[in-house]
Structure formats: C-alpha cells, structure tokens
Chain A
Amino acid sequence: MLRYTAVRTVWIIVILVTILSMNFVILQSAPEYPPPTPDDRDMYYDRQVADGYFTVRVERDPEIVRALSENDESVYVRNPRNFYQRNPRQGPVEFYRIYEPVPIATQYVRWVRNIVVDWNWGLSTRVAPNTPVFEVLMSRIPITMQLNLLALFFYIPIGFALGIVAALRKDGLIDNFVTLFVMIFISIPSFVVMLFLVLIFGYQLEWLPTQFPTADAVGMIRFTGLVLPVLGLAFQPIASLTRVTRAELTEVLTSEFLLLARTKGLTRPQSIVRHAMRNSMVPLVPGIIFSFVGLLSGSVIIETIYGIPGTGRVFIRAMALNNYDYNLILGTTAFYTIIGLFAVLLVDLSYGIVDPRIRMGAKK
C-alpha cells in the first residue's frame, strides 16, 4: 500500500510538472502583452529582470539612440521581443535601456526556481497590472470555493436520495419520473440550464437577482444571489449521481448476499441500510471526488454568465483577445490542474479505504 501510494504520488507530480512546463513554454513563445501604461511597463520589466527572465543593458551609442528614437530601421531594427525604455521619458533622449529576454530554457529553469523557492508566480500584466498573480488568485479563490462547496453539499444528499428512492421503487411511477429527470438534466449543458434559470427566476418571475450581487451588498441579497449559480452547477451532478446510485443499488439489491442477510432475519430496511447501501457506496466515492473537479471547471462558464468574481471569471478576463495576461493564465490553469490531479490521487487512494477488499498494487 505504501509503495502504491508513493508510486501514484510521484506519477501525479510528473504529470503536473509536464502539463505546467508545457503550458509555460508554449505561452512564453507567444507574443508578449506587457502592462499598458508606461509606468507599469517599466516596473514590470524591472521585476522581470529581478526574476531572471530578462537581462538589461544600457545603450548610449548616439547613433543607435538616434535610430531608436526616430525608428530608423536602416541602422537599428527593433526586436519585437525586446523592450526599449527611453530615458528620460520626456525631452531629448540620452540613452536607452534595452531589456532582452534570456533563452527560453533558462527562463524555464528560473521559473521553476522562483516557484519552488519563493512561491513567486510572476506579476499580472493586464488584469491587475503588477500585482502578484498569487495575490490576484487568492482574492478570487474563496468565492469560487464557497460556490462549489455549496453546490457539492447541496447536490450529494439530493442525488443520493433520488437514486435510492428510484432503486427501491424500481419501475414504479417515481422511478420513471426520476429516470426522465436524469435523462433531461444529464443531457442539457449546465450553462444552458443556467440560462433557463436566469431567464425564468431572474427575469420573468423576478424572484432572484439576475446578476451576482456586488461585494458590498447586504442582507438577504447575499444569500439569494447564491441560489441560481448553486442550482445551475448542481443539476447535472444531481442527475449523474442519481443515475449511478440507482444503477449500483439496483445491482446490489438483487445480489445473493442481500438475500442471505434477509434469510438471517434482517428486515428489509435493516438489510438495505447495513448491507446494500454500504456496498453500493464503493464506486460512488470516486465519482463524487471527480465531480468536484467537474463542478470547478463547469463553474468557469457559470461565473461568466452570472458575473461572479471568481477564478473562472479572472481566467476569462486574462484570456481577452490580444490582451492576454500570461502569468495569470498560468497561475489559474495551475490552480485548476493541481486540484484536478489531487482529485485523481485522492480517488486512487480512496479505493483502498472505502473497500478493504481492493488492495491496489498488492502482489497477487
């Protein structure tokens, strides 16, 4: 078991490093979008030099300085990856500071060192110029987590209850209703469900707000503002949990050990609660853990629809066309990747805990 855990953990870290490295290298090779205002830009490049991604040199040669200030391409052609800082900014030019990127392999090594040693994910360039990416994310993560955890705790009991009821009353009226509900909500994309919810409860009936309330909202609206996104997130997981619970429980209910339990004198409720439920839980636990990852990535679009200032929204903003904020994109995707892979690890390890019969990696 220990060996298995260690192997899985190492493997997950390998995947994580591969994905993040690939993302870093590819994004670094795309055209750069530094902060828009000159002050922010100067600050940003100085910080890039401090972090080791750029080198800086001072160009005082009057001929080149003149060519740079007049953009005379016959003497000096600007490299689009470099940053040319005019000094002083107003008045006659005295010298240029030229910031040049180091080779991408070196950048990569320094990036890894910055993260591992200093936990430095770089600065945001466009969404919140010159704010550390980690800070931007930390201000957004609570709201996303709050929303997703609420959805998780909302959908699990409902999904279980519906699945159990349907399995116990198999082929009855309730079962047929539940099956129909499952078929509908497992198929409709969550953002379409969200649009329907906003359309009906927000605009037509006017029961709930049509946009997520701002941070300074007070009173009931803080609560009512959460209802629609939680519902929008939860419908699909409810449907899939109901489906799996029903299938598993139906199978266990017809198994022989349950018959044995009944013959030994247990009542039907006793046998169901003590034997059937516990056994049907085994395949459900990994599903629930994975569903949290699904919720999280699904919440990107829900956040966009409902104007929720979470990590998904900040990602979409960082991805605005020709206004990319690469460091923030890297940080956000790292957040989602880490959570996703952690869930995989958790699932792998949880098999052994939920069902002692399964001993992963044990010798046969």
Chain B
Amino acid sequence: MRLYDDVKKEYDSLNKAEFEPIDKDKKIYDKKFDTKPIGYFKDAMIRFSKNRTNVVATIILLILVMLAIFVPILTTKNYTQQQTQLAHLPPRVPILSRFGIMDGSANVVAQTINPDNYNEEFDVFYPDNYFPEFIIWETVENYFDNCSRIAEICVGGEVVLRTQRSTDTQMSITARSTFMVSTTDGISVNVDVSDIIGSNTKLDVILVSGNEDYVIGTIDRPGMHSFNPFDNPDLPDTAWSTYRIKLVMHAEATANRVVLNSVSVTDASLDEPVVLNEGFSLANFQVSSSGLINRQNAQIMRANFKYMAYESALREARDTLSNDDYYELMEQYADECKWDPETGLGGDPDPNATSRHARIFPPECPIIRTTGRSSMLPDPRNPGEFVYDYFVVIDYQRALGFETTPYFFFGTTNAGHDLFALTWVALRTSLLIGLVVAVINITVGIIYGSISGYYGGKVDLLMERFSEIISRIPWLVLLSIFYALIGPGALTLILILIVSGWIGVASVTRTQFYRYKGREYVLASRTLGAKDSRLIFRHILPNGIGTIITASVLMIPGVIFTEAALSYLGFGIGHGQSFRLFGLIELSGVSIGVLLADGRNEMIDKPYLTLFPAIIISILMITFNMFGNALRDAFNPSLRGSE
C-alpha cells in the first residue's frame, strides 16, 4: 500500500516547470455521448440477429409471406375458374424436368384394363380413357389383382353359394342360357365342386326342360362330379330339345356354403364342351331370392404406367363447342381466326349462314377446322336466341392461351386450378385468419388481463375462475355448439378460435401487471392524481408490452394449425365460399386445410396434391415457431437457453 507520505517525496522531486494546468479558466459541462444509447427494442434487435439460425428462419418466413401476397397477384395461371381440360396435371418444373424429375408425366396406377385395348409391340393391355399415343409404353406393367365383383372383367375364381336368411333351407341358381344336344349318347353334365361347408349340405343338379325340373344327381362332397342326364328316365330324351342347368343347394344354416369351380356339359364326340360355365358366367347365374352368390379368388387385370399428361391435355382433338364458347374464342383470337377472302380460310363471316360451316382456319388460330354444326334450338333462357354446337378440331394448347407447354410447378387440382398459385392463395387465407384471430385475441386478452392484474383481489379471483372455466372447455364442445348453431364457415371458425384463444395473452398480461403495478414510478404517478386508465395504458402496459407481444406472436402458428385441422375435417371454410372480414379484406374459401382435404382421396396416384400443401404448411409452422422463440428470447434475455 502506498501512503501519501511515500508519494509526497516523489511528487516533490518532480520538476514543477514541466507541468502546466489545463482548462484552468474553462467551465466544464456534461458532454453529450458520442455513441447512441441502446434502447429496449434495439437491444432486443441485436440479440435477435446474433442467432443465425433464427435469422435464416425469419427470412424464410418473410419469403413465404411475400409469396403468399404476391404470387396470387402476379401469376398468369388460372386459379379461380374451372378448366376441366387442365385437371389432374402432375407437377412440371423447368430444369428438373430435364433430369426426369417432375417432368409432367403422370403415374397412372391400378387402372382396370379393357381386354380390347392391346398393344402388340410391347405385349401389354391398357385401360380406356387414355390415348395410346401418350402412353409411355416402356413403363406399362400389367398385373392381376383380386376381384370379387360379378363382372365380366374379373376372370377365374370360385363361386360361393349360401342362403340369405336363417329361415331359408335352400337356394337355387339357374343358368341364363340354354343348351341343346343332338344326341342322347355320351352327354354328361359335370359339376366341379371345390368345397362344401357344413354337414347335410347338398347340391341337387337339375335340368330344366320347359317348365319341368328333372333331378339328375345330388352332390354331397367336393370333387368333380359327372352325371349322365339321360339316366333319369323322366327326362324327355328327344334330341334337339333345349335344357337349362339349375343347381339347388340344401343348407341348414346361413354359414353353410357350397363353393363351385365350374359347371359344364360335354359331349363324348366333341373335343370342346357344349357349355362351360366358370368364373363370371357361373356367377352370373340367376339366383333365387332366398340365396346369395359371391365370387372369390377371381382376378382382374390392371395396369400401371406413366402417361404424358401435358401432351394429352394440350393435344389437338375433336371437340364440341357451344356457340357461346365458340364465339368467345373467335373474339379472343379475332385477328388470327378471321375470315380471309383471299385464302378462303377462317371463321364464317355470317353466323346465321347455315351453309359452309365446315371450314379450315389459318394456322395461327386455335381452332384448326370445323367439321359441322348442330341444328339451332331455341334458347330456353333467352327467348329469341338460339343454342347450337360447333363440331371442331381444336388445338387445346393454343385455345387455352399457352405458347409452349406450360409449367405447373405443383401440378393442377381436380378443377384445373394451378396448385402452385392456389397454395399461396390458401396460405394467404390461413395467414389472414391467423392474423385477424390473433389481433382479436390480443386485444381481448390485454384488456382482460390488465383489469384482472391491475385491480387484483376479489376481481382478480373471479376473473381468474371465469377464464379457467372457459379454458377448460374442450374444443370438441366449442365445435359442436358453434357448428350446430351457425353451420360451417369462416364465422364458426373464427368464433371457435377466439373463445378460449385470449386466455394465454390475458395471463401473460396479468403477470406483467403484478410485476409492475407495485413499482415506485406507478406510485408516484398515482400520487400525482393519475386515473386508473392512465396508469394502466400509459405506465404499466408499455413496460410489459414486449413480453405480451412475443407471447402473442407464438399464438399465430397455433391459430393456423387449428384452422387447418378444422378445415381439413370440413368444419371450417370450404370451396366456393368467399367472405369479407369486416367488409375490408376479401378471402377465398381455400385454405391449406381445404387443399389437404381435397387431396385426401387421391393420395394413391396424385400424392402431389397432398405433398406440396403439407410441405408448405410445415415450413410455415417451423419458421413461425423459430421466429416466435427467437423474438421471445430477444425480449427476455433471462429465458435464453431454456428451450
């Protein structure tokens, strides 16, 4: 420790002339800080931007919001009108399509083939409703699937007979066609039974001739059974008479069954059977009202393949246009399609001229040629007007206004809407509903929480009990009440979301009030005569607002989630609805939940209808949560790292 005495020696030894006093005659005032003060929000901002992951999440969130705002405005593709020609197109993305990913080829799966549609080169069958020129033949796979329908397309299998009601003791099946034999020698009726279930279950084989039944044999065990019909002396044994096969099953219970493989009639002198009933033709026998007939183990051929959906949708094809559509198109392409007297190409200059309506159009026109026109019928809705159809060959690509094959990034929906644009429209709806509900909840919550927290005591106790009851109402109860009273729609949705949504904000606000209301500055203001409202809104609330707002931001993803879930279940908004919020913002009835519900039944061959909206809402929720957490951490450093 240095004492003054020690220093004094040192000080005295210094040369005084080397020192001179500065600012001796100046007055010194407080200086202004050169650096700017770091305020509450700036401090939060700095902390917020330090965490790089959160900044990235925030940027992605902003991009999503921007896309939701601008894509619906800027897109050239249709997302409002129904265009059946463009329905069910798979995603097609530039660049990626060159590598065979999302190149616009549709995966067609499990389509039942038509046996008449056969491609010899690749030895495959293909279904109806697909144009052979757009099928990618290398990818066609035929396979067999189980089938229990009584339809001709299902082949093979067995036929199960059983009685219908427990009171029935027998049932019968009768062939729909008759047969005729030219001789009475060497004829046998063969019944191939694969199984008989239940004791005392028997099958009578009967030939019907005219209105008479002639029993020719009885079967009580499985196996191949052959009967000579002319062993029955009663059967009229004249050649050239017609017979019909009838089988009668005697069963004691509905669980008793007879399983048949085939029923045939053979002639020893012929190689082929006279009659062969198996599979469909056997299942197609006429059944008596007391019985049921089922097929089992039958097979149906299906095909999986890739299909050039864009080329197919935008092909040149024959079509029938109503006069309205025709003239709308002619007006739209007035220059390209107009009649040119020199070349003789183009539309009819006089629509009422019934002659010369088969014409060829210039190459720029979407209509290639018209082949005729239907007769004119009076329009039932507009008296004096006529309705008629033009038969045309049309280039859909040009008729739909595309110069080249279009790119639908996310594919198109059942109604031919561009899913990419629609997803952003849906996101916009979801975000707006989230925002509106959040604003309402925050307002209500702040007011409620302020009153409860500021006054405390009995008021607080009562208000707390009330909000506890409200918060304990399960969402199913809310849903049932509002749905039964109002029906589906945006109002129901918003009401469900705000009934208990404000409670979180209220409790945060209440805590903040408890924290600040006892501070000296509040006491000072009160002493100066400030009213309650002034204390609440000018002094206490601004101090707690950061915490309250961050708690509220975290509410928005919750609201979006609930909205999506309810709309998915069909209790929220839906297609065709459009509604105004407070008369200001017009929303379409499409939200992410609605899009997901649309794709629900088509997950097997059109997974993109579910996949893209699901990915977008997932990214939105993840980034929104990260943004909210980052905001909370930034405003409340003591919470750092508790997540």
Q: Which residues of chain A have a CB within 8 Å of any CB of chain B?
A: 15, 18-19, 22-23, 26-27, 30, 183-184, 186-189, 191-192, 195-196, 198-199, 202-204, 210, 243, 247, 250-251, 297, 300-301, 304-305, 315-316, 319, 321, 324, 326, 329, 332-333, 336-337, 340-341, 344
Do the beta carbons of B625 and A333 come within 8 Å of each other?
no
| Cβ of B621 under 8 Å from chain A | yes
State A329–B483 Cα separation when bound (angstroms): 11
Do the beta carbons of A204 and B476 come within 8 Å of each other?
no
Do the beta carbons of A15 and B472 come within 8 Å of each other?
yes
State A22–B478 Cα separation when bound (angstroms): 10
State A198–B474 Cα separation when bound (angstroms): 27
A-B contact pairs, 14 of them (CB 8 A): A15-B469, A15-B472, A26-B481, A184-B618, A188-B622, A203-B603, A203-B604, A210-B604, A251-B642, A304-B569, A305-B600, A319-B479, A319-B571, A329-B484
Do the beta carbons of A333 and B480 come within 8 Å of each other?
yes
Q: Which residues of chain B have a CB within 8 Å of any CB of chain A?
A: 468-469, 472-477, 479-481, 483-485, 487-488, 557, 561, 564-565, 568-571, 596, 600, 603-604, 607, 610-611, 614, 617-618, 621-622, 624-626, 641-643
Do the beta carbons of A319 and B483 come within 8 Å of each other?
yes
Do the beta carbons of A336 and B474 come within 8 Å of each other?
yes
Chain B proximity of A355: nearest CB distance (Å): 19
Do the beta carbons of B474 and A188 come within 8 Å of each other?
no
Chain B proximity of A293: nearest CB distance (Å): 8
Chain A neighbourhood of B600, CB < 8 A = 305
B610's closest neighbor in chain A, by CB? Answer: A195
Do the beta carbons of B484 and A326 come within 8 Å of each other?
yes
State A341–B624 Cα separation when bound (angstroms): 31
State A203–B604 Cα separation when bound (angstroms): 6
Do the beta carbons of B569 and A301 come within 8 Å of each other?
yes
A344's closest neighbor in chain B, by CB? Answer: B472
Chain B proximity of A25: nearest CB distance (Å): 10
Chain A proximity of B351: nearest CB distance (Å): 46
State A353–B640 Cα separation when bound (angstroms): 30
10 smallest beta-carbon distances between A and B, as pairs:
A187-B621, A187-B622, A30-B484, A187-B625, A188-B618, A333-B477, A189-B561, A329-B480, A336-B474, A26-B481
Chain A proximity of B101: nearest CB distance (Å): 15
State A324–B482 Cα separation when bound (angstroms): 13
Do the beta carbons of B603 and A319 come within 8 Å of each other?
no
Most chain A beta-carbon contacts within 10 A, residue among B484, B488, B611, B618: B484
Q: Which of B474, B561, B626, B643 sits near A297, CB closer than 8 Å?
A: B474
Chain A neighbourhood of B469, CB < 8 A = 15, 18-19
Chain B neighbourhood of A301, CB < 8 A = 565, 568-569
Chain B neighbourhood of A18, CB < 8 A = 469
Do the beta carbons of B476 and A183 come within 8 Å of each other?
no
Do the beta carbons of B569 and A333 come within 8 Å of each other?
no
With A15-B472, A27-B481, A300-B476 as contacts: A191 and B607 at CB distance below 8 Å: no
State A196–B599 Cα separation when bound (angstroms): 12
Do the beta carbons of A333 and B476 come within 8 Å of each other?
yes
State A21–B480 Cα separation when bound (angstroms): 14
Q: Which of B568, B603, B622 sits near A183, CB closer than 8 Å?
A: B622
Do the beta carbons of A337 and B477 come within 8 Å of each other?
yes
Chain B neighbourhood of A300, CB < 8 A = 476, 569
State A316–B643 Cα separation when bound (angstroms): 36
Chain B neighbourhood of A329, CB < 8 A = 480, 484
B613's closest neighbor in chain A, by CB? Answer: A192
State A26–B557 Cα separation when bound (angstroms): 30
A184's closest neighbor in chain B, by CB? Answer: B622
With A19-B473, A203-B607, A329-B480 as contacts: A316 and B642 at CB distance below 8 Å: no
State A247–B633 Cα separation when bound (angstroms): 14
Chain B neighbourhood of A250, CB < 8 A = 641
Chain B neighbourhood of A316, CB < 8 A = 569
A318's closest neighbor in chain B, by CB? Answer: B480
Do the beta carbons of A191 and B565 come within 8 Å of each other?
yes
State A188–B613 Cα separation when bound (angstroms): 12
Do the beta carbons of B480 and A27 come within 8 Å of each other?
yes
Besides A301-B569, A304-B569, A337-B472, 20 more A-B contacts (Cβ < 8 Å) are A23-B480, A26-B484, A26-B485, A30-B485, A183-B622, A187-B618, A187-B626, A192-B596, A192-B617, A192-B618, A195-B610, A203-B607, A210-B604, A251-B642, A297-B475, A333-B474, A333-B480, A336-B477, A337-B477, A344-B472
Chain B proximity of A289: nearest CB distance (Å): 14
